[in-house]
């Protein structure tokens, strides 16, 4: 009776829950590390001054490899959640991670996460898991259950009541879960319903649960123990006080769910953002389940990079569709690496399960024109965050021991752009004219001194095929158009003109008092009609970007604009915008432009190129590597571009990879680019200029 009560309780969902709001705000800068000491209250947490940010803001010695004590909990479980309150670097990045320990017969009792979908993999033992739909058209709350073994993966859709139970009489169980919010929240149903303060009237509950009041009073009398359960069973509860303070958020990169779930119908001929939904009548628990073998070491010997990425995204697990999350296991051979790459649509959170990893990421061009490198050596159980769209890598420094990590990504289809492959191994190849200038070497040097860089393009295809399952898995990226909804937050008022003098740091900028706003906040005498000087730039271009830093009225509005001048034979070298799609029109001259897809089904990075004439328009999708080149020997060219973020960021590949401050280890780069360390050292010694104003 008591156990089945949990399921009766779901009737109550209609009254109390908390249905799927959209998730977290999208980042408006590379990162916005939470400033937990600020007295300012905003949606999420205010940002630390970027000057004070260090790699440890993205790192936690979380001991996720260690069994936690389950003996003090009545429920027989212990949830160790790494959310923004514990790991400040997660702020604005829409993801968190947890380890859950279950005693024999222990459970994580029925609960919901108001702001997150959860994806879970079993590390030890078995789990009997389930979730209950909200009221369907037929007024039924359907229960989906499954028994999971080691290495299996399961999805709990956003906002739905779910539980996990360890059926074993004698063996503990352990799971790693990732949640698609920096602060997913947890509402334990028994506690929320029968243990609220003050109690919900027994009149209400008697009717809601269709039992007599005596039964309700009895249940409420258990509430004191429920509260104990609450306090005892889970760290969640220490963390949720802030839920009330930080109100719910509004935008995420993936589409927000508009129903309990929308299981991908991969056989449908209809093409939409993501996948069309299977008929809910045909949905079964196996749509949320995959016997993924994530407990098993994968083969790293066939990969030149010495790694093997097993990604569980929507193409493998149809239940992930519209839910904004995916998971991967990564195996690293001794001295193996996951080479420098970006995910155009996701932030990544990683926990080391075996060995050690040397990891890092590089910021987009900062105000001072610098690409800053943040690195850290991680041990077993440590947790690290790679912010959305930024170039990052992992390297196993050990000469003899393999390493392994479990990661989660804040998209159902994060995409992966391996820099070396996309730049030097695209199909067809990017013109040598473009690459020689972008990498600031002459063509001959590329062919002789640094021959492998361009001559062995073929090699990169092999690396591509060999180095990572990503490439097999991102199959449908081209078909399922990129998901990215607007990256910027939706405005909550007519305008929120950036107050750049405010000492308060938030995601984006705080608003000026509306009384002080005048028309000049929306205006800039930008001289975008005037040719800019391209002679000082090695690349032969000059980008004049009008973003929120220059035009305060853009704050929260999700757009910016640029003029780009190209000298004869000048180029805007291969780069990405971590937070924006770009649309461009040619005002003068001709441009040869292109972008490279993230890895496709066949392991290929496809290059799309076009020669544009005056008046032509071209789109560069969010997060993808792209370039423009003026093929004329004697005429300059000019373009106007608009970008779908108030602060799109720009990661110039050559600069971020070879010119970061401090340099990326030549061990990492030599393997990633398949050249010797001398070539890498030579490249790193070049002056990497920034053509952006
Ligand atoms: C969870 O485990 C940790 C480490 O063993 C322990 O310190 C903590 O008290 C446990 N929490 C609960 C609620 O049992
Ligand atoms: C909870 O416990 C306190 C004291 O331990 C008691 O006064 C109170 O009546 C209890 N609440 C319920 C609902 O039984
Ligand atoms: C990854 O490991 C799996 C299982 O060991 C193996 O079948 C697959 O070929 C490996 N992939 C690569 C790219 O090495
Ligand atoms: C771009 O042009 C402006 C105006 O001509 C000039 O002041 C600036 O130095 C140029 N920037 C670069 C990076 O060449």
Q: Is 666 helix (H, G, I), strand (E, B) or coil?
A: helix
CA-nearest residue, atom 3 of ligand 2: 224
Residue at token pair 């959640």: 81
Question: Per-residue pLDDT for 104 more than 90?
Answer: yes
CA-nearest residue, atom 11 of ligand 1: 78
Quick one: pLDDT at residue 589?
95
Report CA-CA distances (Å) from 212 to 78, 197, 226: 34, 21, 20
Residue at token pair 């590329």: 446
Please tell me whether 370 is known to bind a ligand.
Answer: no
Smallest-distance ligand from the CA of 221? 2
Number of other CB atoms surrounding residue 245 within 10 Å: 9
Q: At residue 311, what are phi and psi to the nearest 5 degrees?
A: -100, 130
378 secondary structure, DSSP code: E
Q: What is the mean pLDDT of residues 379-408?
A: 91
How far is the first Cα of the chain from the last one, in angstroms, to the nearest whole number? Answer: 68
Please tell me whether 392 is known to bind a ligand.
Answer: no
Q: Considering Cα of 641, then 646, then 652, then 653, what sign does the dihedral take?
A: negative
Could you tell me the two tokens for 508? 């984006």
Residue at token pair 């790679």: 386
Query: In this structure, are strands 357-362 and 373-378 parallel, antiparallel, or unpaired?
Result: antiparallel
665 or 638: which leads in pLDDT? 638
DSSP states of 239-276: HTHHHHHS------SSPPPSSS---B-TT-S---SS-P
Using pLDDT thresholds of 50, 70 and 90, give the confidence band for residue 491.
low
Using pLDDT thresholds of 50, 70 and 90, give the confidence band for residue 499.
very high
Q: Considering Cα of 403, then 404, then 408, then 414, what sign does the dihedral take?
A: positive
Q: What is the mean pLDDT of residues 181-206?
A: 74
Quick one: pLDDT at residue 537?
87
pLDDT in tens, 37-59: 888 777 778 889 888 888 899 99
pLDDT in tens, 593-641: 988 887 655 667 788 889 999 988 888 888 888 999 999 999 999 998 9
pLDDT in tens, 57-77: 999 998 888 999 999 988 899
Q: In Å, how far from its chain's centre is CA 282?
A: 30
Q: Give the residues surrounding ligand 2 with Cβ less than 6 Å away.
A: 220-221, 223-224
Residue at token pair 């016997």: 291
Residue at token pair 């078909």: 479
In whole angstroms, what is the distance from residue 496 CA to residue 516 CA? 11
Smallest-distance ligand from the CA of 332? 3
Using pLDDT thresholds of 50, 70 and 90, give the confidence band for residue 543.
very high
Question: Per-residue pLDDT for 360 more than 60?
Answer: yes
Q: In Å, how far from its chain's centre is CA 189?
A: 29
CA-wise closest residue to 113 among 163, 164, 187: 187
512 secondary structure, DSSP code: P
| 8 A C-beta contact, residue 611 and residue 630 | no
The CATH superfamily assigned to 6-19+490-653 is Jelly Rolls (2.60.120.10)
pTM for this entry? 0.74
Using pLDDT thresholds of 50, 70 and 90, give the confidence band for residue 366.
low
Q: Please state, rounded to an integer, the average pLDDT across all residues of the chain.
A: 77
Q: Is 211 helix (H, G, I), strand (E, B) or coil?
A: coil
Task: Give 98 Cα–ligand 3 centroid separation in angstroms.
Answer: 27
Share of the chain above pLDDT 70, in %: 78
Give residues with Cβ within 8 angstroms of 207, minimum separation 6.
none
| 8 A C-beta contact, residue 655 and residue 690 | yes
Q: At residue 595, what are phi and psi to the nearest 5 degrees?
A: -140, 160
Indicate whether residue 462 lines ligand 3 (CB < 6 A). Answer: no
Residue at token pair 């591509």: 464
Q: Give the residues surrounding ligand 4 with Cβ less than 6 Å away.
A: 532-533, 536-537, 542, 691, 693
Quick one: pLDDT at residue 301?
94
pLDDT in tens, 110-152: 888 877 889 999 999 999 998 887 766 566 677 888 999 999 9
pLDDT in tens, 284-327: 889 999 998 888 999 999 988 899 999 999 989 999 888 888 88
């Amino acid at each position: 009776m008591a156990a089945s009560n949990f399921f009766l309780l779901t009737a109550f969902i209609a009254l109390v829950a908390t249905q799927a709001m959209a998730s977290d705000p999208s980042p408006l800068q590379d990162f916005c590390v939470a400033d937990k000491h600020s007295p300012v209250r905003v949606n999420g947490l205010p940002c630390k001054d970027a000057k004070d940010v260090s790699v440890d803001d993205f790192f936690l010695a979380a001991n996720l490899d260690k069994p936690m004590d389950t003996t003090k909990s009545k429920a027989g479980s212990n949830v160790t959640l790494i959310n923004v309150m514990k790991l400040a670097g997660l702020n604005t990045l829409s993801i968190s991670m947890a380890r859950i320990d279950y005693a024999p017969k222990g459970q994580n009792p029925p609960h919901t996460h108001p702001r997150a979908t959860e994806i879970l993999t079993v590390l030890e033992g078995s789990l009997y898991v389930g979730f209950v739909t909200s009221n369907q058209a037929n007024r039924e709350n359907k229960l989906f259950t499954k028994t999971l073994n080691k290495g299996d993966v399961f999805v709990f859709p956003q906002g739905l009541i779910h539980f996990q139970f360890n059926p074993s009489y004698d063996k503990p169980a352990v799971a790693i879960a990732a949640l698609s919010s920096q602060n997913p929240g947890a509402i334990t149903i028994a506690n929320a319903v029968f243990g609220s303060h003050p109690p919900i009237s027994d009149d209400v509950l008697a009717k809601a649960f269709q039992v007599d009041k005596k039964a309700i009073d009895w249940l409420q009398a258990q509430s004191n123990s429920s509260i104990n359960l609450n306090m005892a069973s889970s760290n969640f509860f220490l963390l949720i006080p802030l839920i009330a303070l930080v109100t719910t958020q509004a935008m995420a990169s993936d589409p927000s769910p508009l129903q309990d779930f929308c299981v991908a119908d991969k056989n449908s001929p209809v093409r939409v953002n993501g996948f069309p939904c299977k008929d809910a009548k045909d949905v079964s628990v196996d749509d949320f389940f995959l016997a993924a073998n994530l407990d098993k070491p994968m083969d790293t010997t066939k990969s030149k990079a010495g790694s093997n990425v097993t990604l569980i995204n929507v193409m493998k697990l149809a239940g992930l569709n519209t839910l904004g999350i995916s998971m991967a296991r990564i195996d690293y051979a001794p001295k193996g690496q996951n080479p420098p790459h970006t995910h155009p649509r996701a932030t990544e959170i990683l926990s080391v399960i075996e060995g050690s990893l040397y990891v890092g990421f590089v910021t987009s061009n900062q105000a001072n024109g610098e690409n800053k490198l943040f690195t850290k050596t991680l041990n077993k159980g440590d947790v690290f965050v790679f912010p959305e769209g930024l170039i990052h890598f992992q390297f196993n420094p050990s000469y003899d021991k393999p390493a392994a990590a479990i990661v989660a990504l804040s998209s159902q289809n994060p995409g992966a752009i391996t820099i070396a492959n996309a730049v030097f191994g695209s199909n067809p190849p990017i013109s040598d004219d473009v690459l020689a200038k972008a990498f600031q070497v002459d063509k001959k040097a590329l062919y002789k001194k640094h021959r492998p860089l361009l001559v062995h393009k073929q090699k990169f295809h092999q690396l591509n095929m060999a180095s990572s399952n990503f490439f097999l898995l991102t199959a449908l990226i081209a078909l399922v158009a990129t998901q990215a909804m607007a990256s910027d937050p939706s405005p909550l008022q007519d305008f929120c003109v950036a107050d750049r003098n405010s000492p308060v740091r938030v995601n984006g900028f705080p608003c000026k008092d509306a009384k002080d706003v005048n028309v000049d906040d929306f205006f800039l005498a930008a001289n975008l009609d005037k040719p800019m000087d391209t002679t000082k730039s090695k690349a032969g271009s000059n980008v004049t970007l009008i973003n929120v830093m220059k035009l305060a009225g853009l704050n929260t509005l999700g757009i910016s604009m640029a003029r780009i001048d190209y000298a004869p034979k000048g180029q805007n070298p291969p780069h990405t915008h971590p937070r924006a799609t770009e649309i461009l029109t040619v005002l003068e001259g001709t441009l040869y432009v292109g972008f490279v897809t993230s890895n496709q089904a066949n392991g290929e990075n496809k290059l799309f190129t076009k020669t544009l004439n005056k008046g032509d328009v071209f789109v560069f999708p969010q997060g993808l590597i792209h370039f423009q080149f003026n093929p004329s020997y004697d005429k300059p060219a000019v373009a106007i571009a608009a970008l779908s973020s108030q602060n799109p960021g720009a990661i110039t590949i050559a600069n971020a990879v070879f010119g970061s401050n401090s340099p990326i280890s030549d061990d990492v780069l030599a393997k990633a680019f398949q050249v010797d360390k001398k070539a890498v050292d030579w490249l790193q010694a070049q002056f990497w200029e920034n053509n952006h104003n």
